[in-house]
């Protein structure tokens, strides 16, 4: 039976999507703290991946490409919206935003307190389990910078989550 190239690419992409979607969503959710936004960003990134699948499929870490595109898309959307008037309290992190994403709501709240670059490093190194070199390439920074950001993020999260746990223990 003859198989057309387009069919093979479609099957490859479909398999990649099924294997990577949840991990990419968790990584973007850890960075944004907003489930709906994370779903929109990941959907947009997968759409772009499909449109450039020949290039993306040869990328050393296609799931990192997805997360990077999702985060870049967020910045683009933010730049377009920054002149809009924000309503107080509507951009607050909803602890229930982690519903169905296998991410502890307390962790999401703690992640939102981190600087953006630290959240991105945590998303790539922890949620996607990328090595330091791959995460550095995906973020366009030096490997040592990834290590430094991860170290600072882990220390901050450890302190934040220890405080939360001790407060819950007092109740």
CB atoms within 10 A of CB 101: 18
Residue 5, CA atoms < 13 Å, CB-side half-sphere: 2
Residue-wise pLDDT tens digits, 104-119: 888 888 888 999 999 9
What are the tens digits of pLDDT across the range 52-80?
Answer: 999 999 999 999 999 999 999 988 777 76
pLDDT computed for residue 147 by the predictor: 95
Query: What pLDDT sits at residue 2?
Result: 40
Confidence bin at 8 (pLDDT 50/70/90): confident
pLDDT of residue 84: 53
Give the Cα separation of 46 and 66 in Å (integer).
Answer: 6
- Cα–Cα distance for residue pair 107/152, rounded to 1 Å: 15
- Can you give the residue range of the structural domain that contains 84? 5-170
Q: Going by C-beta distance under 8 Å and a sequence separation of 6 or more, which residues neighbour residue 47?
A: none
Q: How many domains does the chain have?
A: 1
Instruction: Please determine, for residue 151, whether its predicted confidence score (pLDDT) is greater than 50.
Output: yes
CATH code for the domain of 34: 1.20.140
pTM across the whole model: 0.64
| 70, 45 contact by CB (below 8 A) | yes
């Amino acid at each position: 039976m003859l198989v057309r190239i387009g069919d093979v690419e479609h099957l490859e992409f479909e398999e990649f999507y099924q294997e990577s979607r949840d991990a990419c969503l968790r990584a973007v959710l850890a960075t944004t703290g907003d489930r709906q936004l994370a779903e929109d960003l990941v959907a947009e990134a997968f759409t772009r991946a499909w449109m450039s699948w020949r290039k993306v499929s040869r990328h050393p870490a296609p799931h990192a490409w997805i997360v990077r595109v999702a985060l870049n898309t967020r910045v683009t959307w933010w730049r377009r919206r920054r002149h809009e008037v924000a309503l107080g309290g509507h951009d607050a992190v909803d602890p229930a935003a982690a519903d169905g994403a296998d991410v502890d709501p307390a962790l999401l709240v703690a992640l939102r307190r981190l600087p953006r670059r630290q959240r991105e490093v945590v998303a790539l190194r922890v949620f996607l389990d990328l090595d330091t070199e791959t995460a550095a390439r995906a973020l366009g920074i030096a490997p040592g910078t990834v290590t430094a950001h991860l170290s600072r993020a882990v220390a901050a999260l450890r302190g934040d989550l220890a405080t939360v746990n001790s407060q819950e223990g007092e109740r």
